[in-house]
Each structure stands twice: as structure tokens, then as C-alpha cells.
Amino acid sequence: MGIVAAVQSTPVYVDGLATARKAAESIAEAAQNGAWLAVFPETYIPGNPDFIDRAVPGSEVFQAFERRFLESAVTVPGPEIDVIAQACRKYQMTVAIGVTERPARSGTLYNTLLYVGPDGSILGRHRKIMPTYSERMIWGMGDGTTLRTIETPHGIVGGLICWENFMPMPRMVLYAQGEQLHVAPTLASGGERWIAAMRHIANEGRMWVVSVGNFMRETDLPPDLAKLGLYKPDEVINPGGSMIVNPKGKIVAGPVYDQESILYADADPAESLLAKRDFDVVGHYGRADLFGLTVRDVQIPLQIDGKVLPPFDDHVWRVAASEPVHELKVSAGPAADD
């Protein structure tokens, strides 16, 4: 499978294009260190909407952060994604990157995990199916059609976003598609509970897990937002906690906190195959004779037999790289009903 990279990088907060350019620099660095895959945190572009847990909804401070966050959300495809695609082409890299996505002509935002291939094409995207708690004030819910793996020359890659990883059934849907490497972008590691979950998923699926947390400080906020006083001076908003775990649940890189860092591991697919000899959750432990699983009326086989999983009734999965982008500009001025 080759070397994979977990990129714990601080976004240029609420500046999507600048963050994409910073991501391109990290893609170049990862490539120079022999990686074929670079994984970035949840909603890396344009940053973490942590303000939803700090400011009173509807308050002036909340609205100031919310407006900037909406303005900097990305449309897929779009100029920010073009920057990522160009870096992928230049360095022959595959990238999994978290973005806050705003579909063209829409005001709904989605927490999206986007995959870009070494030719610069959009390989796919996954929209978070269950925003966690206060996140529901920001993101809409994905419809489940994006619970798909990505086939690459290096192996089959799948991923879930943050607390989706705690949901057994989405994990099983990915396992059933032959997932060999699981990416788990998140806002922050969540401490021992998150570490335990990543180790469990690696052990359960007998696959490599790349978990990437968001690292951000109060000093990373734009001056106009920092002066609103929502955060303490020099406060660490998110500590990161990125790590890479092998198919037996052993942490082989990280976790790393309170700094920007790129972690690397040589994700040998043979380790995954050998680990499945004694426990294969969609093989001899699948017990398809006892259990069943469906997604949007599609039967998900719990024992891999070489057949290709039938397609979901899908309106968001296939993304044409040449699809025109219709930008909806959001005024920075006062709202109409202010």
C-alpha cells in the first residue's frame, strides 16, 4: 500500500483559498517524504466552527462568526478544490480532506470528506450523515448515498467523519466494500475515548486507520474575530491528537498534540490481510446467514464474495470535475431583517 500521511495542519481560518494553498504545501511535503496519500482534518477548509459551543445562538458574536463561516464555505468543484487538484496532479498524490461544502445556489452547508486523485479528479465525497449535537446548527445531514469506498492502485480507502466513527452500521457498510485503509478526520482527538475508538476500529476492521485532528489556537483567528473576545488570549482551541493505527490496533505514529505536524507510516496491505485470517468481520465472522444490513433499500452483503456492491439511488456521489460552478455571493453587510 505504501506510505500514508496524517497532516495535522492549522487552517487559515475562514479563508478557504488561503487554506487550500497551505494544504497544497503540505501535499508537496508529504509527497517528498514518499507518501501516496495525505489525510487532512475534518472541515479543514475553512476551519472548525467551534464558536457554536462558545457563543449564544443568535447573538451578535455568533452571527459574526456564522457569516464569515458561510462566506468561506466551498462549492465542489470550485477554486479552492482546483488548488488541491493541481497539487495532486503535480505530486501524483491522493488526498482526503475535510471541507465545509455549500452546494451551488444553496444555503445549506454539509460537513464533507472529499477525495481527490493523483490526476486531479474528484474521486468522491462523503457527507456526514449525523452532525453531532450543536453541529446541527451549522451542517445539514448527508443522505447516506455517500457511504462509499474509493478504489485506488494502493488499496481500498474509506472514511467517516468524527463521531460517525462511533456508529457501527456505517462502519459495516464500508467494511463490506473491502475497506483496507480507513480515514477518520475529526475536530480534535477527544482524548483517551477517541484513541480507544481508533484502536478498536483498526482491530475490528483489521485495517489501517489514519485519524487526523484539527490543531488551532486563539492566535490563529482573524483579528476582527479575535477581538470579539470569544476565546481567551493564546488559548489552544483544538489540540490535534492525530495518529496512525495498524490493523491489530497498535498506534504506530502519534498521537501528537499542540503543534502542526505530519505523521507517516508504511501501511503494508499484507498486514491487513494476515490480520483478517483470524478475524474477518465481513468474512467468516460476517454470519450473513444470521444478519442483514440495508442502505436505502440496497442489500449490503456481510460476506465479501467478489461481487461488486450494487449502486445506491445516488444524487450526490458522482461529481463531474468539469461541472460549472455557480457562486452565490454572501454580503458582508447587515442581514435584511437586522
> How confident is the model over 191-212, as pLDDT tens digits?
899 999 999 999 999 999 999 9
- Is 41 part of any domain? yes
Domain presence at residue 327: no
State the distance between the two ends of the chain, measured CA to CA, in whole angstroms. 55
Which member of 22, 88, 101, 162 is catalytic?
Answer: 162
- Nearest CA to 314 out of 179, 147, 158, 117 is that of 147
Measure the CA–CA gap between 182 and 164, rounded to whole angstroms.
12
115 - beta bridge partners? 96, 124
CATH number for position 93 = 3.60.110.10
pLDDT band (50, 70, 90) for residue 220: very high
Residue 289: per-residue pLDDT: 81
Catalytic status, residue 162:
yes
Give the cell for residue 74.
466551498
- What grid cell was written down for 153? 492502485
Q: Which residues are CB-neighbours of 140 under 8 A, at least 6 positions away?
A: 108, 109, 110, 131
Q: Count of CB atoms within 10 A of residue 57's CB?
A: 11
Higher pLDDT, 271 or 334: 271
Residue 69 forms part of a structural domain: yes
- pLDDT over 70 for what percent of the chain? 89
Position 219 pLDDT exceeds 80: yes
User: What is the C-alpha separation between 121 and 115, in angstroms, rounded?
Assistant: 9
CA dist., res. 172 & res. 100, Å (int): 25
Q: What is the pLDDT of residues 120-146, one digit of tens each?
A: 999 988 999 998 888 888 889 988 888
- Domain of residue 207, residue span: 3-300
Q: Count how many Cα atoms sit within 13 Å of the Cα of residue 71 in the half-sphere of its side chain.
A: 13
| pTM (two decimals) | 0.89
Would you say residue 311 lies in a domain? no
The answer as to whether 328 is a domain residue is no
What pLDDT is stored for residue 244 in this prediction? 98
Q: Catalytic site residue 42?
A: yes
314 domain-assigned: no
Give a yes or no: residue 125 inside a domain.
yes
Active-site hit among 128, 135, 179, 276:
128
Residue 155, C-alpha cell as written in the block: 488499496
What Cα–Cα distance (Å) separates residue 108 from each residue in 14, 74, 116, 239? 17, 12, 23, 28
Q: Taking phi first (over 0 means left), then psi (-120 to 50 degrees means alpha), and beta for anything else, what does residue 315 get? A: alpha
Does residue 239 have a pLDDT over 90? yes
Task: Find the DSSP H helices in 100-219.
Answer: 168-175, 192-205
- Residue 313 inside a domain? The answer is no
Query: What integer best gives the mean pLDDT of the chain?
Result: 87
Q: Is the pLDDT of residue 160 over 60?
A: yes
| pLDDT level of residue 273 (50, 70, 90 thresholds) | confident
Mean pLDDT score, 93-116: 93
Task: Report yes or no: 120 and 321 within 8 Å, Cβ to Cβ.
Answer: yes
C-alpha count within 13 angstroms, C-beta hemisphere, residue 171: 22
Residue with cell 493564546: 234
Catalytic status, residue 128: yes
20: confidence class by pLDDT, cuts 50, 70, 90: very high
Total structural domains within the chain: 1
Is 246 in contact with 268 (CB distance < 8 Å)?
no
Note whether 39 and 6 are within 8 A (CB). yes
